[in-house]
C-alpha cells in the first residue's frame, strides 16, 4: 500500500490538521513521525496516496502550517 504522510513543525499544527481533515471526511490516521523522514514533530498525518491532492488542498485552504508531504510504502 502506498501512503502519504504530512509532516508538521509543531504538534498543534498536526492537531489542527487532524481536526480539519476528519471534518472534511478524509480517511487519515495520526502516527508517530517515521524516523527516516524527519525528527521535527513527533506526530504525522498518514493518508492513502490517492487522496494526496484533496488532503493538500484542505490544509492549504485552511492555512495550516505544513512542513512537507511525503510518500511512504508500507
SS3 (DSSP) at 31: strand
Q: Are 4 and 70 in contact (CB under 8 A)?
A: yes
The pair phi, psi for residue 50, each rounded to 5°, is -65, -20
30 binds another protein (CB under 8 A): yes
9 binds another protein (CB under 8 A): yes
# residues contacting another protein (CB under 8 A): 23
SS3 (DSSP) at 10: coil
61 binds another protein (CB under 8 A): no
CB of 73 to another protein, least distance (A): 19
Query: Contact with another protein (CB under 8 A): which of 5, 6, 14, 59?
Result: 14
Amino acid at each position: 500500500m502506498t501512503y502519504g504522510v504530512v509532516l508538521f513543525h509543531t504538534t498543534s499544527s498536526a492537531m489542527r490538521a487532524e481536526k480539519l481533515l476528519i471534518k472534511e471526511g478524509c480517511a487519515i490516521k495520526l502516527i508517530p513521525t517515521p524516523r527516516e523522514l524527519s525528527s521535527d514533530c513527533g506526530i504525522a498525518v498518514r493518508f492513502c496516496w490517492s487522496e494526496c491532492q484533496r488532503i493538500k488542498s484542505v490544509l492549504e485552504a485552511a492555512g495550516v502550517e505544513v512542513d512537507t508531504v511525503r510518500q511512504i510504502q508500507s
